[in-house]
């Protein structure tokens, strides 16, 4: 699979996958047929570009609806809304992320002090547990930066309930290696498997299910002997209170009347999916790029993920500078951003919304002073603004509104 982090490749993969996004996806999406040089035929593998903001959810939904209509594409559309739902849920409960980080750091410290845990962790992450399927996925993840959704579920379940490792170490392992490493989808999916997201309802991987849905792999079905059969869901001692964040209203071109700089970051690495009319109506006078893959984890980020993230930023900056006819500058980690603005004689900064998680952790502190001075305008897409408030509890609250949301956001002729 060619995950070149350019918008050109993202659009090419979208076009290539479109014919399969309707009933084929509904029927075949659960099969993990293994990596393929030309890309899997049953899932889109668009998530790295979606996560990096090289491709936008709205344009993907628009393209899929244009080809298949709402009913045939129902499953695929719902999956894209799972991504938006998880984002909205974490926005309303950022404490889930804070608690994950604390738990992860505590688990990493506990491991440092315990040789037995270190050995078990090394065996799991290096694919040496003896559970054949799990070992294949551990190596596949480190080598390619991608796992099929079903493999992610099985892997997380085996990690938690059979290997009895801390779920936060598993979530950290994923975040370090996935090209699409997303604080919301990753943390909340691990919690879902563990029985912490839908409390008391966990996911137990079954060997026959794994064999059935991996039958299409080049080496034949994967085996998984000795899986836990009767493990209890995990519990946690505290709730994570909900609060609706203060979402930025739509920005009008008038608000960007003065020369401004556009910040590109790891979840908005390309200008095209941003509120397009806005950015085009008042072109930025400077593009600033800030890539912070190391904010995903205290550990080392895998090479495929780091390369993808950094190259998405380099390419995004170059394409934005060319599109707007302006210079581009890098905001280096640990440096203040103000001098970049001052050198260009610019007061205002337009920032694509910083979602709860590692992207916000990395960038929000360095923007706080500017924001306090009223010099930051946050950009949030209509689909996120409309959907996030509905992500209060389970996915159903969003699922039942999908048609209305598409209509409200003018997607699919709505």
Ligand X SMILES: Cc1cc2nc3c(=O)[nH]c(=O)nc-3n(C[C@H](O)[C@H](O)[C@H](O)COP(=O)(O)OP(=O)(O)OC[C@H]3O[C@@H](n4cnc5c(N)ncnc54)[C@H](O)[C@@H]3O)c2cc1C
Q: Which stretch binds ligand X (CB under 6 A): 177-185, 221-229, 271-279, 290-298?
A: 177-185
CA–CA gap between residue 269 and residue 287 (Å, rounded): 11
CA–CA gap between residue 260 and residue 282 (Å, rounded): 9
Strands 376-379 and 260-265: unpaired
Decide whether 121 or 137 has the Cβ nearer to ligand X. Answer: 137
Decide whether 193 or 282 has the Cβ nearer to ligand X. Answer: 193
Terminal alpha carbon distance of the chain: 34
Question: Residue 75: how many CB atoms within 10 A of its CB?
Answer: 15
- Residue list 68-87, contact with ligand X (CB under 6 A): 79-80, 82-83, 86
CB of 175 to ligand X, least distance (A): 6
Task: Report the residue from 43, 107, 329, 354 that binds ligand X according to the rule CB under 6 A.
Answer: 43
Decide whether 286 or 383 has the Cβ nearer to ligand X. Answer: 383
CB of 390 to ligand X, least distance (A): 15
CB of 55 to ligand X, least distance (A): 9
167-177 helix and 94-112 helix, angle to the nearest 10 degrees: 100
- Give me the half-sphere count of Cα atoms (radius 13 Å) on the Cβ side of residue 137: 29
CB of 18 to ligand X, least distance (A): 11
- Residue list 375-404, contact with ligand X (CB under 6 A): none
Task: Report the residue from 181, 195, 289, 355 that binds ligand X according to the rule CB under 6 A.
Answer: 181
Q: Which stretch binds ligand X (CB under 6 A): 178-186, 233-241, 329-337, 343-351?
A: 178-186
C-alpha torsion angle, residues 191, 193, 195, 196 (rounded to 10): 0
CB of 180 to ligand X, least distance (A): 4
CB of 342 to ligand X, least distance (A): 37
Task: Report the residue from 153, 207, 321, 390 that binds ligand X according to the rule CB under 6 A.
Answer: 153
Decide whether 153 or 207 has the Cβ nearer to ligand X. Answer: 153
Decide whether 176 or 271 has the Cβ nearer to ligand X. Answer: 176
Q: Which residues on adjacent β-strands are paired with residue 127?
A: none
Task: Report the residue from 18, 50, 285, 411 that binds ligand X according to the rule CB under 6 A.
Answer: 50
CB of 36 to ligand X, least distance (A): 12
Q: Can residue 51 be called a binding residue for ligand X (CB under 6 A)? A: yes
Instruction: Tell how far CA 382 is from the center of its chain.
Output: 18
Instruction: Tell how far CA 374 is from the center of its chain.
Output: 29
Burial 137-163 (b: 16+ CB within 10 A, else e): bbebbbebbbbbbbbbbbbbbbbbbbb
Site residue total, ligand X (CB under 6 A): 28
User: Would you say how long the chain is, in residues?
Assistant: 414
Question: Residue 329: how many CB atoms within 10 A of its CB?
Answer: 18
Q: Which residues on adjacent β-strands are paired with residue 287?
A: 262, 328
Question: Which residue matches tokens 């570009």?
Answer: 49
> Site residues (CB under 6 A) for ligand X?
29, 43-47, 50-51, 79-80, 82-83, 86, 148-149, 152-153, 156, 174, 178, 180-182, 185-186, 189-190, 193
């Amino acid at each position: 699979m060619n995950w070149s982090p350019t918008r050109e490749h993202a659009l090419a993969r979208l076009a290539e996958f479109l014919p399969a996004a309707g009933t084929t996806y509904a029927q075949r999406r659960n099969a993990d047929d293994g990596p393929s040089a030309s890309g899997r035929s049953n899932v889109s593998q668009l998530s790295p570009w979606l996560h990096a903001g090289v491709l936008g959810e709205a344009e993907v939904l628009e393209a899929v609806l244009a080809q298949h209509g709402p009913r045939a594409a129902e499953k695929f559309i719902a999956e894209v809304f799972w991504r938006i739902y998880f984002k909205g849920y974490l926005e309303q409960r950022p404490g889930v992320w804070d608690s994950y980080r604390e738990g992860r750091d505590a688990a990493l410290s506990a491991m440092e002090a315990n040789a037995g845990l270190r050995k078990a962790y090394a065996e799991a992450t290096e694919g040496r547990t003896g559970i054949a399927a799990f070992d294949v996925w551990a190596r596949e993840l480190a080598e390619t930066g991608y796992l099929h959704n079903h493999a992610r579920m099985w892997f997380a379940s085996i990690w938690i309930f059979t290997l009895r490792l801390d779920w936060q170490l598993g979530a950290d392992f994923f975040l370090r290696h996935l090209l699409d490493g997303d604080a919301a989808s990753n943390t909340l999916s691990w919690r879902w498997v563990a029985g912490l997201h839908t409390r008391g309802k966990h996911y137990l991987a079954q060997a026959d299910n794994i064999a059935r849905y991996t039958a299409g792999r080049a080496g034949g079905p994967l085996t998984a002997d000795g899986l836990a059969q009767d493990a209890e869901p995990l519990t946690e001692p505290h709730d994570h209170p909900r609060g609706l964040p203060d979402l930025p209203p739509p920005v009008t071109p008038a608000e960007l009347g003065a020369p401004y700089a556009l910040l590109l970051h790891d979840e908005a690495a390309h200008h095209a999916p941003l509120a397009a009319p806005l950015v085009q109506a008042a072109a930025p006078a400077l593009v600033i790029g800030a890539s912070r893959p190391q904010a995903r984890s205290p550990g080392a980020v895998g090479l495929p993920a780091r390369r993808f993230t950094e190259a998405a930023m380099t390419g995004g900056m170059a394409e934005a500078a060319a599109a707007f006819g302006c210079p581009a500058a890098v905001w280096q980690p640990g440096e203040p951003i103000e001098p970049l603005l001052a050198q260009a004689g610019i007061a205002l900064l337009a920032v694509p919304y910083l979602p709860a998680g590692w992207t916000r952790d990395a960038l929000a502190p360095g923007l706080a002073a500017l924001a306090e001075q009223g010099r930051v305008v946050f950009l949030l897409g209509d689909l996120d603004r409309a959907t996030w408030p509905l992500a209060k509890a389970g996915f159903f609250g969003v699922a039942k509104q999908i048609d209305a949301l598409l209509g409200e956001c003018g997607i699919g002729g709505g």
